[in-house]
Amino acid sequence: MKTKKAASPAARRTPRAAAAAAATAAARETAPEESIAAPVAASPGGELAAAEAATIDITFADLGLTAPMLKALSDSGYKRPTPIQAQAVPLALKGRDIIGLAMTGTGKTAAFVIPIIERLLGGPKRTRALILTPTRELCVQVEESFRKYGKHSGLDVIPVYGGVGYDPQVKALRAGVDVVVATPGRLLDHLEKQNVVLDEIEVLVLDEADRMLDMGFAPQINRIVAQLHSYRQTLLFSATMPPEVEALARKYLRKPVVVQVGRRSGAATTVQHFVYPCPKDKKTSLLVELLKKESLGSVLVFTRTKHGADRVVKAIEKAGIEAGAMHADKTQGQRTKALEDFKKGKLRVLVATDIAQRGLDISGISHVINYDVPQQAEDYVHRIGRTGRAATTGDAYTFMCADEIAMVKSIERVIGQAIPRISVPGYDFGT
């Protein structure tokens, strides 16, 4: 239930925040729905090049950012905004609702965090921004990004996610915090217990928006959005957006601008990807054979099921390769440790289910291996996008058994490209 406020949010706003709110209102009143898409070149990989060419000369200072923000970005080692940042940040600063679509690993997090920080700077101490993510690990990562970009802003942020104790979260929420980054389930628990009030939220972000609006999450998102003021800015970001999900998304948005860099739902052009046709019962030995190659550095392996992940870990450990598993049947402590060890390079191989497929930014992953073909074409884009991030390159291999041929074809349709096949003697089933 919403509680009545003592004074209107506008009355408590600083002049700057009030101006931002007025800009939001003005933009909503006057702006027609529009779409900004970077020019698309004919060559594969040309899309990003074309988008980059359009924004190549833009600096962060050109975006009208404040000194503390410019300092934080330069501390982060960023020289220039990426195309999605150059295009989305000015619109978000104007208060527009945005559907931001750009390839994996191209800096979408900063594209929504930068304008939030700028909007909140110097404003009243209330929870004014809410960012929702589909997994606990992504929640923590976005919170860390917020701290990095907000280093000189004096803003407080907390991550709110499941699988860990309630008490520290309750304490932090009750003490008051500027920004909450949350997974939907745990946030709803806190809302039911009235540990947090969302009356003052001015900006809502759905990171991995198409996932947040699919059947699994939509009921929870609806319950959360029902608690928010309809007079807010809403920002949706993802590397993928099926048209039917975009149609659904529009009910949360007001006159949104679609900012699209490159081909919609395209695979990262920094990743070389291949399909290995392989009978189902030979996938484990093919994996071991590939892992024994020196050139495979840090490898993230995806399986369809939790059992499958455990089975693969056992099998490769038997072959003398140290590996860890990360899936929803592990405790949060085990999940965090496996991910940390993998990030630090203590663990060369991490075998995970879909919980690791979206958003995670782990530098140094040289290879992604789909032990099973993902069930959704969009999942393929996100999985292979765990490598080849921030202008680095990577490789992705997908093992395809006879039952999975049709799924690979449908992935190729969605990403708009054929994936080359690699045939390994003794494994190929002759496709």
Residue window 266-285: x/- pattern of binding to ligand ATP, with contact defined by CB under 6 A: --------------------
Q: Are 268 and 384 in contact (CB under 8 A)?
A: yes
Q: Are 398 and 273 in contact (CB under 8 A)?
A: yes
Residue window 108-147: x/- pattern of binding to ligand ATP, with contact defined by CB under 6 A: xxx-------------------------------------
13 vs 122: CA distance, rounded Å:
9
Q: How far is CA 421 from CA 283, 285, 290, 367, in A?
A: 15, 18, 15, 16
**Shorter beta-carbon distance to Mg ion: residue 246 or 361:** 361
Q: Are 102 and 38 in contact (CB under 8 A)?
A: no
Among Mg ion, ligand ATP, none, residue 265 binds (CB under 5-8 Å by kind): none
Among 239, 249, 253, 350, the residue binding ligand ATP under the rule CB under 6 A is: 239
Scanning residues 356 to 385, which ones bind Mg ion (CB under 5 A)?
359
The angle subtended at Cα 373 by Cα 371 and Cα 379, nearest 5°, is 110
Amino acid at 332: Q
390 binds ligand ATP, rule: CB under 6 A? yes
Among 9, 24, 81, 236, the residue binding ligand ATP under the rule CB under 6 A is: 81
CA-closest candidate to residue 72, choices 9, 148, 174, 5: 148
- Beta strands 179-182 and 257-260: pairing type? unpaired
324 binds ligand ATP, rule: CB under 6 A? no
392 binds ligand ATP, rule: CB under 6 A? no
264 binds Mg ion, rule: CB under 5 A? no
Q: Which two tokens stand for residue 135?
A: 């997994």
Among 78, 166, 427, 429, the residue binding ligand ATP under the rule CB under 6 A is: 78
106 binds ligand ATP, rule: CB under 6 A? yes
146 vs 140: CA distance, rounded Å:
10
Q: Are 300 and 339 in contact (CB under 8 A)?
A: no
* # chain residues binding Mg ion, by CB under 5 A: 2
Among 13, 96, 108, 367, the residue binding Mg ion under the rule CB under 5 A is: 108
107 binds ligand ATP, rule: CB under 6 A? yes
Q: Which two tokens stand for residue 378?
A: 């969009």
Residue window 322-361: x/- pattern of binding to Mg ion, with contact defined by CB under 5 A: -------------------------------------x--
CB atoms within 10 A of CB 334: 14
Interacting residues with ligand ATP (CB under 6 A): 78, 81-82, 85, 102, 104-110, 239, 359, 361, 385, 389-390
Interacting residues with Mg ion (CB under 5 A): 108, 359
